[in-house]
Chains A and B, each alone.
Chain A
Amino acid sequence: MFSILGPGIISAVADNDAGGVATYTVAASLYGYAAQFLIIPVTVLLGVTQEVGSRIAIVSRRGLADLIRERFGVKWSIGIFILLFITNQAVVIQNVSGIRASLTLLNLPYYIFLPLVIILIWLLLLKGNFKTIQRGLLILTLFYFVYLISAFQSHPNWLRAIENTFWPIDIKQFDVKYIFTLIAVLGTTITAWGQFFIQSFVKDKGLDVVNLKHEKFEVYAGAFITNFFSFMIVVAVSATIYANGISVDDAADAAHAITPFAGELAYILFSCGLFVASIMGASIVPLSTAYAFSEFFGFERSLDKSFSQSKMFYSFLIIQLIIGLIAALIPALSLFQLTLYASFLNGAILPVIFFFLIKFSNDSGIMGRHVNTKGENYILLGSSFVVLMAVLITTIGSFFIQ
Chain B
Amino acid sequence: MTQLGAHDETPPAQVADHPDTLPPLTLRFQATAHNARSALCDLRKALMADSRLSEMTLSTVEIVLAEVTNNIVEHAYEDRGTGDVALHCEVGQGVVHFVLEDAGKPYPRGQLPEKRLHDLDQDLASLPEGGFGWGLIRDLTLSLSYDRSGGQNILSLSIKNEPA
Q: Are A and B genuine complex partners?
A: no
Residues of B that sit less than 8 Å from A by CB: none
